[in-house]
């Protein structure tokens, strides 16, 4: 369940490893900034925002990432290439984390990507994304390659077959169009709502079984779209629901997670760290080993327990070999 026979790809975006066998690397957490209703926005048309507060939010995420060992970056939402340029400049001046640009209109996204290439920061940039709805996928792929883009998200979904297998077949079609020809390919299995998140998680497993690509999704789509949750359970109930969904996704074959507004980092990072700790012991129960990666949360927070666990396993293996 938590070990694949297919070799698992591990990519690097900047200095961050993404992918591998379950538990091998902590999932990459990708925050959103400058989205609609983001309180740091002052005037979107003029690309004006509260720079002090934006910097504080980035610093808070950096601190949580450093303390938990969970890598992170930010996807910045913009409506125009000009707006995106302002956010990119601010971001590059503020942090060394990788980044992405979240723009729905493909042509505008392409223009913003040209600016990334002009700055020469392709190694830190995650293109989001190549999708089944794009009209000219081959043309988009070639344009990105001409710009030196290395890291891409490939979003998979099939309107006619919304099952996990439908998502896998969508990936196959995109790969036929050249979407897999980049240094890094992350497969976003398209979260549509909270209960259907399970289909995305199962699709993650299928993708990793078939291709070994890192798989994940925007699990905040499922949680933040459930507006009635706050009416039923209140704000604290919503926060609990959000944290649980993000944590379960971490334990079930997710290598990356678009987790939503960066302001939610104080609850998401502990939730994901907790889930990864539980995943580590699930992996140990199945394989008898724990990944050597010193950044994973279980090695940071439960090193004494882990040492005893591994020593006990080694003693049991030795006794079995001796026929005791």
CATH code for position 145: 3.20.20.20
The whole-number pLDDT of residue 314 equals 54
The whole-number pLDDT of residue 248 equals 96
Q: Considering the domain boundaries, does residue 321 fall inside one?
A: no
Write the CA distances from 101 to 28, 43, 81, 314, integer angstroms.
16, 18, 10, 47
The whole-number pLDDT of residue 107 equals 87
Domain of 137?
A: 10-293
Residues 145-170: b if buried by 16+ CB within 10 A, e if exposed? eebebbbbbbbbbbeeeeebebbbbb
Taking a C-beta distance cutoff of 8 angstroms, is the pair 281, 251 a contact?
Answer: no
Q: Considering the domain boundaries, does residue 320 fall inside one?
A: no
Q: Model pTM?
A: 0.94
The whole-number pLDDT of residue 319 equals 52
Q: Considering the domain boundaries, does residue 323 fall inside one?
A: no
The whole-number pLDDT of residue 169 equals 97
Give the count of domains, the chain.
Answer: 1
Taking a C-beta distance cutoff of 8 angstroms, is the pair 42, 270 a contact?
Answer: no
Q: Considering the domain boundaries, does residue 317 fall inside one?
A: no
Q: Considering the domain boundaries, does residue 305 fall inside one?
A: no
Taking a C-beta distance cutoff of 8 angstroms, is the pair 256, 273 a contact?
Answer: no
The whole-number pLDDT of residue 106 equals 83
The whole-number pLDDT of residue 9 equals 98
Backbone angles phi, psi at 73, to 5 degrees: -160, -175
Q: Considering the domain boundaries, does residue 72 fall inside one?
A: yes
The whole-number pLDDT of residue 141 equals 95
Q: Considering the domain boundaries, does residue 1 fall inside one?
A: no
Find, among 79, 167, 76, the residue nearest to 127 by Cα: 76
Residues of the chain whose pLDDT is less than 70? Answer: 313-324
HEC string for the chain: CCCCCCCCCEEEECCEEEECCCCCCCCEEEEEECCCCCCCEEEHHHCEECHHHHHHHHHHHHHHHHHHCCCEEEEEECCCHHHHHHHHHHHHHHCCCCEEEECCCHHHHHHHHHHHHHHCCHHHEEEEEECCCCCCHHHHHHHHHHCCCCEEEEECCCCCCCCHHHHHHHHHHHHHCCCCCCCEEEEECCCCCCCCHHHHHHHHHHHHHHCCCCEEECHHHHHHCCCHHHHHHHHHHHHHHHHHHHHHHHHCCCCEEEEEEHHHHHHHHHHHHHHHHHHHHHHHHHHCCCCCCCCCHHHHHCHHHHHHHHHHHHHHHHHHHCCC
The whole-number pLDDT of residue 292 equals 87
The whole-number pLDDT of residue 320 equals 53
Q: Considering the domain boundaries, does residue 227 fall inside one?
A: yes
């Amino acid at each position: 369940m938590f070990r694949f026979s297919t070799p698992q790809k591990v990519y690097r975006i900047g200095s961050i490893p993404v992918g591998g066998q379950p538990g091998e690397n902590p999932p990459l957490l990708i925050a959103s900034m400058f989205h609609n209703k983001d309180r740091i926005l002052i005037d979107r048309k003029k690309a004006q925002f509260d720079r002090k507060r934006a910097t504080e939010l980035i610093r808070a995420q950096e601190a949580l990432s450093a303390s938990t060992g969970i890598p992170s970056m930010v996807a910045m939402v913009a409506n125009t290439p000009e707006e995106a340029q302002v956010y990119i400049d601010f971001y590059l001046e503020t942090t060394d984390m990788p980044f992405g640009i979240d723009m729905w209109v493909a042509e505008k996204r392409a223009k913003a990507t040209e600016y990334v290439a002009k700055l020469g920061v392709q190694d830190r940039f995650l293109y989001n994304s190549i999708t089944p709805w794009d009209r000219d996928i081959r043309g988009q792929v070639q344009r990105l390659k001409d710009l030196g883009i290395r890291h891409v998200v490939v979003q998979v979904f099939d309107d006619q077959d919304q099952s996990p297998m439908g998502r896998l077949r969508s990936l196959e079609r995109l790969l036929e169009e050249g979407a897999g020809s980049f240094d890094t390919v992350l497969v976003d299995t398209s979260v549509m709502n909270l209960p259907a998140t399970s289909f995305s998680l199962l699709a993650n497993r299928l993708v990793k079984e078939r291709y070994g690509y890192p798989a994940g999704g925007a699990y905040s789509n499922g949680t933040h779209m459930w507006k009635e949750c706050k009416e039923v359970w209140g704000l604290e109930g919503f926060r609990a629901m959000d944290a649980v969904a993000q944590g379960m996704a971490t334990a079930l074959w997710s290598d990356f997670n678009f987790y939503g507004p960066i302001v939610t980092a104080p609850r998401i990072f502990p939730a994901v760290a907790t889930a990864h700790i539980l995943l580590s012991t699930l992996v140990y129960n199945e394989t008898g080993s724990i990944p050597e990666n010193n950044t994973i949360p279980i090695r940071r927070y439960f090193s004494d327990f882990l040492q005893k666990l591994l020593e006990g396993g080694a003693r049991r293996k030795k006794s079995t070999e001796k026929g005791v």
